């Protein structure tokens, strides 16, 4: 259909009481698998790259891959910078052609987070691109950064002030989720999420959803989440599929063969998560 920004996607999700699935991709195969899943379910989709992924490739490379695939897709596709570590990274992604960016200043003091998030939001708005930011912390590990586990929950009144002063398009909140797989059963503060939703007008984002149960994701969407991020479980599905292929055919030398197997595994997982988010049929 088109290579688009995330603005209409998330506003439509907010109005329709569902969430857009946002899936992290590491290579061309994962991009193709995510878009195939979206087409089969007729769902809008966001593809994301983290700062760590951009050390592996480049913004220019990922923008070229996603744009090329999106031009042939039958659904709207957005490319988003996930957990942007700096203003400079956001600038580079915007110049490369990303259609959505995030500035993650959540580890900074409140006023410093506002300052850098507003800088990125103002730049993004000037070129017609939405900006996500984060207040509170998501635990666990995101690429090379480990949370200290302190002060991780988002305060509703601070969230209201933060969104109004920065002019961001969407807000990622901390309610007890964690990056990576969970070692135990996560306990989410869903009542806090409802309190945040009541005072914050922009769409809300849930990070660290890999490993959450379907019912937990649905409850968060019910309480106002409009975008749900999935990363670790996609990497796991891709890697396990490649490992399984080599067990069946240890002499394989054609990367396309195990690449196809990995794409099928990622596609199946993405479809399942889209259905949980409720974005299937919403393109």
The catalytic residue positions are: 82
C-alpha–C-alpha distance, residues 220 and 224, integer Å: 6
C-alpha–C-alpha distance, residues 222 and 190, integer Å: 10
Instruction: Report CA-CA distances (Å) from 218 to 71, 212, 228, 278, 279.
Output: 31, 10, 10, 8, 12
Strands 145-146 and 139-142: antiparallel
- Known binding residue 134? Answer is yes
- Known binding residue 179? Answer is yes
- Known binding residue 209? Answer is yes
- Known binding residue 231? Answer is yes
3-state secondary structure of 23: strand
C-alpha–C-alpha distance, residues 104 and 150, integer Å: 17
Q: How many CB atoms lie within 10 A of CB 268?
A: 14
3-state secondary structure of 165: helix
- Known binding residue 201? Answer is no
- Known binding residue 180? Answer is yes
For 201, the token pair is: 């007008």
3-state secondary structure of 256: helix
Task: Name the β-bridge partners of 48.
Answer: 24, 80
- Known binding residue 229? Answer is yes
- Known binding residue 207? Answer is yes
- Known binding residue 42? Answer is no
Question: Of 77, 83, 81, 106, whose CA–CA distance to 91 is shortest?
Answer: 81
- Known binding residue 21? Answer is no
- Indicate the annotated binding residues: 83, 104, 134, 179-180, 207-210, 229-232
- Indicate the annotated binding residues for Zn(2+): 83, 104, 134, 179, 207
């Amino acid at each position: 259909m088109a290579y688009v920004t995330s603005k209409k996607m998330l506003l439509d999700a907010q109005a329709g009481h569902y969430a857009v699935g946002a899936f992290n991709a590491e290579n061309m195969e994962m991009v193709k698998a995510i878009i195939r899943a979206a087409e089969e379910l007729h769902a809008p989709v966001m593809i994301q790259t983290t700062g760590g992924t951009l050390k592996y490739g480049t913004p220019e490379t990922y923008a070229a891959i996603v744009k090329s695939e999106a031009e042939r897709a039958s659904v709207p596709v957005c490319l988003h910078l996930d957990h942007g570590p700096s203003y400079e990274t956001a600038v580079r992604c915007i110049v490369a052609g990303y259609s959505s960016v995030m500035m993650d200043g959540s580890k900074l003091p409140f006023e410093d987070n506002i300052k850098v998030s507003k800088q990125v939001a103002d730049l993004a708005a000037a070129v017609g691109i939405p900006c996500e930011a984060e207040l509170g912390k998501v635990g666990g590990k995101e690429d090379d950064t480990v949370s200290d586990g302190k002060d991780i929950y988002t305060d509703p009144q601070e969230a209201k002030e933060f969104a109004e002063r920065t002019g961001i398009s969407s807000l990622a909140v901390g309610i007890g989720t964690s990056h990576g797989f969970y070692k135990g059963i996560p306990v989410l503060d869903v009542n806090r999420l409802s309190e945040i939703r009541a005072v914050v007008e922009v769409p809300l984002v849930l990070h660290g959803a890999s490993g959450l149960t379907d019912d937990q994701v649905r409850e968060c969407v019910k309480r106002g989440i409009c975008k749900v991020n999935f990363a670790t479980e996609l990497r796991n599905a891709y890697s396990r599929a490649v490992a399984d292929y080599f067990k069946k055919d240890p002499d394989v030398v054609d990367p396309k063969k195990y690449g196809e197997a990995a794409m099928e595994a990622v596609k199946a997982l993405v479809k399942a998560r889209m259905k949980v988010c409720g974005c299937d049929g919403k393109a």
